[in-house]
Copies of this chain bind each other. A is one copy, B any other.
Amino acid sequence: MSSDGFRPLDEKLLVEYLKGTPSLAAKLGSQFDKLEIKEVGDGNLNFVYIVIGSSGAVVIKQALPYIRCIGESWPMTKERAYFEATTLQDHGRLCPAHVPEVYHFDREMCLIGMRYIEPPHIILRKGLIAGIEYPLLAEHISEYLARTLFYTSLLYLTTTNHKSAVAKYCGNVELCRLTEQVVFSDPYKVSEYNRWTTPYLDADAEAVREDSILKVEVAQLKSKFCERAQALIHGDLHTGSVMVTTDSTQVIDPEFAFYGPMGFDIGAFIGNLILAYFAQDGHAEKGTDRKLYKEWILKTISDTWNLFYRKFTALWDKNKDGPGEAYLPAIYNNPELQLLVQQKYMEDLFHDSLGFGAAKMIRRIVGVAHVEDFESIKEASKRADCERKALNFAKTLLKERKKFHNISEVVAAIEHLDK
């Protein structure tokens, strides 16, 4: 046990901890000698235990004071558990249907006790690789995005409450710095951490590092990421942070949360769907060309943005006389003007989302952390073909994002490049 009260938990300590914590013990029932315990974290970042008792189950997640990426160990504040817990609570209040409930948080132990998201929930990314359709995914994620982003922005909050929340989440700077490095910096320079499907993408990776226009654009997105406290964003909303069944969608792991640009969340999700799309040809086998599945992914991309647009502006309309101070009703005082400011706001948000989404795609192909969508394509040349298409699309999207007027044009551009 370290001086600050932190102890990494093994199974034995875990059982003791559960016994001594009424809010968790109550969920599990009294038979502590019969608990079923499974460690499911990757062990590099966090411990994640599934604990199943006689009357219920919980997940225990404990942050460790480092992260490990391809063998390298980076020290990383375990305080991130605090920001993850408070975000799960804040976002959970705003969108309980799609955020797992927190039963317990222990700041000293960096430990969150939360809802066990039970089978048949799986990680969305794995579902996308398996070619499974989730008919409610766009509906659910757009609901999550609209509610969490709207209610933590100045469209709903007073500037007093907003600034106080911004100040609190400034404390999560180490996780922000990790994003700054791996998303906005490393892919655009020579870095020991970068990797790609070599030798096939060697020239492509080099082209990214030598693309001046791309680097000018990514600098602007990085500044926006660092400077613009627009809403409490999840901060890492890729398809590995979402658990799904055909009728449930649960957003997990908001340890990167802070007050940042909304487009970073929207873009992360859409960008990862586009990665999933371009990976499909690598998963196609005889008799399953994935053609219909690719269409479903494109439809889900469209639906996510369009439903988000509708839900977000509906929340705005509903709360236009609420506490939010960005657009005072006494100024934006007629329906045409209200429509005009919304259109402008949503247009900017759309372009931000495309830019951030593209940056998130690029870093998954030539940066440190790759995605299973591509990694699971065993044949390297086939994988490289898929990755190159995704990379080329992402570069265009990042550089030309302001030329797209709506999501249909984005989808059309994906289809065009995929021909």
Measured between C-beta atoms, what is the minimum distance from A288 to chain B in Å? Answer: 41
Tell me if A403 counts as interface (CB < 8 A to partner B). no
Take A176-B159, A189-B328 as given contacts and tell me if A212 and B336 are in contact as well, using a CB distance cutoff of 8 Å: yes
Tell me if A25 counts as interface (CB < 8 A to partner B). no
B330 close to A189 (CB less than 8 A): yes
A211-249 toward B: CB 8 Å interface, digit per residue (1/0)? 010011001101100111110000000000000000000
Measured between C-beta atoms, what is the minimum distance from A65 to chain B in Å? Answer: 17
Tell me if A332 counts as interface (CB < 8 A to partner B). yes
A185 close to B227 (CB less than 8 A): no
B226 close to A344 (CB less than 8 A): no
The stretch of A33-41, A103-111, A167-175, A389-397 in contact with B is A167-175
B159 close to A166 (CB less than 8 A): no
Bound-state CA distance A180–B190 (Å) is 44
Measured between C-beta atoms, what is the minimum distance from A404 to chain B in Å? Answer: 20
Residues facing B in A147-171 (CB within 8 A) are 154, 159-160, 162-164, 166-168, 170-171
Residues of chain B with a CB closer than 8 A to A331's CB? 185, 188-189, 209, 215, 219
Bound-state CA distance A326–B224 (Å) is 10
Q: How large is the interface on A (under 10, 10 to 19, 20 to 34, 35 or more residues)?
A: 35 or more
A159 close to B177 (CB less than 8 A): yes
Tell me if A325 counts as interface (CB < 8 A to partner B). yes
Residues of chain B with a CB closer than 8 A to A173's CB? 159-160, 163-164
Give the contacting residue for A226; candidates B162, B164, B336; CB below 8 A: B162
Residues of chain B with a CB closer than 8 A to A223's CB? 154, 326
Bound-state CA distance A344–B176 (Å) is 24
Residues of chain B with a CB closer than 8 A to A209's CB? 331
Measured between C-beta atoms, what is the minimum distance from A304 to chain B in Å? Answer: 24
Tell me if A200 counts as interface (CB < 8 A to partner B). no
Residues of chain B with a CB closer than 8 A to A177's CB? 159-160
Tell me if A6 counts as interface (CB < 8 A to partner B). no
Tell me if A327 counts as interface (CB < 8 A to partner B). yes
A171 close to B167 (CB less than 8 A): yes
Closest 5 CB pairs of A and B: A167-B170, A189-B330, A163-B173, A167-B167, A163-B170
Give 7 A-B contacts (CB < 8 Å), ordered by A residue: A162-B226, A167-B168, A189-B328, A216-B340, A216-B344, A219-B331, A228-B229
